[in-house]
Structure 1
Amino acid sequence: TLLFIFETGSCKDHRPSGQERQPLPEANAEAIDFLNSLQPEELPMLFFSETLAMVSDTGEPRGELTIEVQRGKYKDEMSIMSQCVLVHAFSHGLLDKTVCGNSLLGYLSQTLETMEQHSREFIKFLILPMEHKMSLLKQNDQLAMTRSIKEGEEVKTGVAFFPSHSITGFISEAANLVLLRLMARRQKVPQNARFLALDTEGKLCNSTYRALGFQNIQVGHQQSEVFIVEHTVHSNEGIPMSWQFYMLCDGHLAKRIQVGSPGYCIITKMPILRKEDVVEPKPVFEKKPLEWQEDLELYSKFLERKEELRLSHASYLRQHPEAQALVSDFLLFLLLRQPQDVVTFAAEYFGPFAANRPPSPPLRSSHRPSPFRSPDPGDAAGSGAGWAP
């Protein structure tokens, strides 16, 4: 259900129950599939800023429009920080010599789902200035919308809540700007796709996109081909509103026309088109054998290091003569016994010298099992016939 409340001072006027039960519009499968086809690697190519001039139907300058899409961070109601698409757009100009303008700030997910959006539109009439504000905020399983309409000193506010399941395929104003860039880069508009949007009264309705083909237009001092997309918001109660967007191949907006409006927006000079970086394969270097003996510098370092180690070892043995005696005694005993398992024999020989080994009894059996050998019942000699040093 949709709850909508208007407040004027302390008075509240609820919508009639018949309107509350009216079914909400839905996006179709073509629209949802197109949104799901958005790949993460496509987003960075949509991050750039652009500025267009607002002109009248006679070509006279009326103001300026700036659109910026970039990577950002968003903190949700649980204070969890995540990556997002940040959209910032604003314009200011003159309408019949009256100052007007609007601003838009939106936070979108990687799939263009609206997490938060704030928009403002104003017309500074001398007698009755007007200001419209709208905020969208995703809260758990619903999208909350707050609208404020100020005419002179009178202020009306409205609040609406849309369940999450009812806004699948919803395209906000911020998401629309990113979606148009994506369509321009792909040079493709989904056929028969029906998205969701909000009309001028803040009511949920359907919106569609239609490709009008290609056209060459004059941009500065050169001709450029543009891809034309028509976006229409189909209000359930009012007349449809349509815009035509003339997009360059990389997503830059060359021209924007609101159908029925006397003015339009256009770029004044050709921007630097964004191209995808071609990732070249990493070079593969064959592994060559190192002939260090033939390298005079390496061979000289080898001889120096060899002599340095020989002198160091000789000095250590002179300082510790017991080491040489211990090794000589082991080698002599090894040659006398000539065991098959030299490693186990060495472990049994040097085992009693371990500092953490418990002291051996003065008398012990010659058949006592050795901890260094695997028990073998069929081999008495191999079961650990140790020796006493």
Structure 2
Amino acid sequence: MVSAENSSLEYLRSLVNYDINSILYDDTLICSLTNNTDVGSFEVKVTKTNYGNLHDCIQVIANSQATIDGVACGTTVRAVVTRELVTVQQEHTEYVKLPNPITRIVDFISESTDYVITITNEEGKKKTTETKRIPKNEAQGLILEGANLILQRLMIQRNMPDKVTMLSLDSSSELSRNVYTSLGPQQVNINGKDIEAWGIQRQIFETKPNALPIAWQSFFSIDGHLISRYQVGSPIKMKTRNIPEAEQFDEYLPKPEIPKRELEWENDLELRSRFIDRRDELIDDYKSYIYQHPDINALLSDFLQSVLITKPENIIDYATEFFAPFNNQTADRSLFRFADEKIPVPKPNISLK
């Protein structure tokens, strides 16, 4: 039985504390072939909604349509997802308008203990229906298409790890591994201008033997806008025509108010004792330092006496000039060349006898 990695589940849980408004925006890409011929479009709309008793859910509507060699095809996803990225309902429709139209619809519903999946296949007038149930305790970390579009936006905004392994449904609607790999920063050219983008590769591994995984590579702006996307092996590439503007969001978390606590430390015996001990410790330390450096008192006394005599208007400038000779980098040391010499005292000429 396949399962999500514990570290990936932990990462998924770490994403739940996000501002829901930060992922509520639309993206539009143009579908084109390798010869740059436009053949369709891909649109994603993300809004906030309620679902029954569940509030602050997210509704995702994604629609891609293209016409290749005169044949119209497309995919539509309508999903309701909780802010924890749990899908509560999704309808995934794929169609190809051939002479005998082919349509596949996968309805996904979350019930109390199980996920219920109803698969409807139509080919011309032939129609088949199949129902599957997956116990929820076996599908932790299940990320379907709608939740995937939200998850990738959050990965861009919230520092994605190099690799994240979740669960999804493969082409047969069987539970399978869903692996996200960081492609790192890349330059994407939009209308002749290179912009910084971050890439994510998503792979869904088929449960059928020897089947290759289905892989998509998507590139996003720094705030999570989808810039380009393509399915590996597909002739269609999707890219935006306009450089998305960075979303501006308000701060919804109010600044916490911490009540000021009146501290009457003088009446607290323990705090008062600590204060007195620390005060005496500092006084003893300062006295010891001054005792070991008696020149401090002499220097300060000289400066104070000079200030009182001179009475300068700018005490800062005066102090700069007064202490300049003591600066090793700027002082003229010749001023102190006789400092260690004895000064001769002249003898008086007047006799006291």
Matched to 2:108, the amino acid is L
Match of 1:212 among 168, 183, 204: 183
Match of 2:89 among 112, 116, 124: 116
Alignment of 1:314-325 (within 5 A): none
Match of 1:233 among 204, 220, 230: 204
Look up the match of 1:134: 106
1:262-290 CA-to-partner distances (Å, cap 9, x unmatched) read 111100011211144468998x9xxxxxx
SS at match of 1:223: strand
How far 1:193 sits from its partner (Å)? 2.7
Q: Structure 2 vs 1, CA of residues 157 and 185 (structure 1 numbering), >3 Å: closer, same or farther?
A: same
Maintained 8 Å contact 1:246/1:256: yes
Maintained 8 Å contact 1:149/1:157: yes
Larger CA deviation: 54-63 vs 34-43 = 34-43
Maintained 8 Å contact 2:197/2:222: yes
Alignment of 1:264-343 (within 5 A): 264-277=237-250
Q: Structure 2 vs 1, CA of residues 226 and 141 (structure 1 numbering), >3 Å: closer, same or farther?
A: same
Give the TM-score normalised by the residue count of structure 1: 0.62
Pick the structure with greater CA Rg: 1
1:306-342 CA-to-partner distances (Å, cap 9, x unmatched) read xxxxxxxxxxxxxxxxxxxxxxxxxxxxxxxxxxxxx
**Alignment: residue pair count:** 254
Maintained 8 Å contact 2:163/2:182: no
Maintained 8 Å contact 1:189/1:209: no
Q: Percent identity?
A: 26
Structure 1 distance, partners of 2:117, 2:163, is: 28
Look up the match of 1:70: 47
How far 1:185 sits from its partner (Å)? 1.5
Look up the match of 2:6: 29
How far 1:133 sits from its partner (Å)? 0.2
Maintained 8 Å contact 1:30/1:192: no
Structure 2 distance, partners of 1:221, 1:63, is: 21
SS at match of 2:164: coil
Matched to 2:109, the amino acid is L
Look up the match of 1:59: 36
Alignment of 1:101-250 (within 5 A): 101-126=74-99, 128-186=100-158, 188-237=159-208, 238-250=211-223
Q: Structure 2 vs 1, CA of residues 54 and 241 (structure 1 numbering), >3 Å: closer, same or farther?
A: same
Matched to 1:255, the amino acid is S
Matched to 1:152, the amino acid is G
How far 1:152 sits from its partner (Å)? 1.3
Matched to 2:233, the amino acid is G
Matched to 1:229, the amino acid is I
Give unmatched runs, 5+ long, in structure 1: 1-23, 285-389
Matched to 1:162, the amino acid is I
Maintained 8 Å contact 2:204/2:215: yes
**Is residue 257 from structure 1 mapped to residue 234 from structure 2 by the alignment?**
no
Give unmatched runs, 5+ long, in structure 2: 258-353
Q: Structure 2 vs 1, CA of residues 217 and 191 (structure 1 numbering), >3 Å: closer, same or farther?
A: closer
Q: Structure 2 vs 1, CA of residues 115 and 154 (structure 1 numbering), >3 Å: closer, same or farther?
A: same
Structure 2 distance, partners of 1:194, 1:278, is: 32
Structure 2 distance, partners of 1:279, 1:87, is: 23
Maintained 8 Å contact 2:48/2:58: yes
Maintained 8 Å contact 1:245/1:256: yes
How far 1:120 sits from its partner (Å)? 0.7
Structure 1 distance, partners of 2:72, 2:175, is: 30
Q: Structure 2 vs 1, CA of residues 269 and 242 (structure 1 numbering), >3 Å: closer, same or farther?
A: same
Root-mean-square deviation (CA), in Å?
1.9
SS at match of 1:82: strand
Look up the match of 1:383: none
Give the TM-score normalised by the residue count of structure 2: 0.69
**Is residue 45 from structure 1 mapped to residue 19 from structure 2 by the alignment?**
no
Look up the match of 2:268: none
Structure 2 distance, partners of 1:280, 1:134, is: 39
